[in-house]
């Protein structure tokens, strides 16, 4: 993948932040973004991130008790999408670049770039990654990434005045069926009228990279591999 076509450098940020601080961290980085630089921020957290649409559910407050009773913090994000789980087996990436990038600054072009970049970053995992909505997963969307019909990642986008932020949730390890069941329980309570705008989740619709590849990958392994691939791309890479 020719990143030089779009940027002069890449900055990698891998710093701990609590769930409630994640959106503030992204906003701060976006406000200081160099238009010729792409930022890739890796992060993990514990809790559930909800979409704005989730807050419109008729029994939203009751649904939140599902997470409270299981000890999960919650956060509502500005980007599109619906509820997703965050824990030590989930790698989140925030990919930031200028809206003025001539080839990838548009809404659809940004998503297409995000798909290409994620395929590039996971090249060494030797998975046949497909793009397209997995409708019975949690937070289904047109830009889901799946292997053999099992969703492994989802992508949402937030656009500020000058910056594109692609937010990727990548399932690396752990019990993905349990994560699906948690979100399914939320919608069972919060969406009693079965509004079709919200997913009917099949707990078998998603899987982790570790389960698909039959290798005991960790979030740290995947991050290290992605960083190595970025360095091999030939573009200057700065680590923070």
Phi, psi of 238 (to 5 degrees): -110, 130
Give buried/exposed letters for 96-129 (b at 16+ CB in 10 A, else e). Answer: bbbbebeebbeeeebbebbbebbeebbeebebee
Q: How far apart are CA 61 and CA 173, in angstroms?
A: 30
Query: The tokens of 84 are what?
Result: 């997703």
The catalytic residues are 139
Helix, coil or strand: residue 131: strand
Q: Where are the alpha helices (DSSP H) in the chain?
A: 22-31, 60-69, 107-121, 176-190, 209-213, 219-232
- Asked if 167 and 158 touch (Cβ cutoff 8 Å), the reply is yes
> Helices 219-232 and 107-121: crossing angle, nearest 10°?
100
The Cα–Cα gap between 75 and 120 comes to: 30
Q: Report CA Rg, the chain.
A: 17
Collapsed DSSP state (helix, strand, coil) of residue 66: helix
């Amino acid at each position: 993948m020719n990143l030089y076509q779009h940027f002069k450098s890449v900055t990698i940020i891998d710093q701990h932040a609590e769930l409630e601080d994640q959106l503030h961290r992204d906003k701060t980085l976006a406000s200081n973004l160099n238009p010729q630089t792409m930022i890739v921020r890796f992060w993990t957290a514990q809790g559930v991130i909800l979409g704005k649409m989730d807050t419109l559910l008729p029994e939203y407050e009751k649904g939140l008790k599902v997470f409270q009773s299981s000890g999960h913090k919650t956060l509502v994000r500005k980007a599109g999408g619906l509820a997703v789980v965050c824990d030590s087996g989930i790698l989140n990436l925030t990919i930031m670049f200028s809206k003025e990038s001539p080839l990838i600054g548009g809404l659809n072009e940004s998503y297409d770039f995000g798909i290409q970049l994620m395929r590039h970053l996971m090249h060494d995992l030797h998975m046949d990654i497909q793009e397209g909505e997995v409708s019975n997963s949690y937070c289904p969307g047109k830009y889901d990434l799946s292997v053999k019909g099992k969703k492994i990642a989802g992508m949402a986008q937030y656009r500020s005045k000058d910056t594109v932020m692609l937010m990727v949730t990548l399932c690396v390890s752990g019990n993905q069926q349990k994560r699906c069941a948690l979100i399914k329980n939320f919608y069972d309570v919060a969406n009693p009228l079965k509004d079709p705008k919200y997913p009917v989740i099949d707990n078998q619709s998603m899987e982790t990279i570790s389960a698909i590849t039959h290798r005991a990958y960790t979030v740290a392994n995947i991050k290290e591999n992605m960083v190595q691939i970025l360095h091999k791309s030939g573009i200057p890479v700065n680590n923070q």
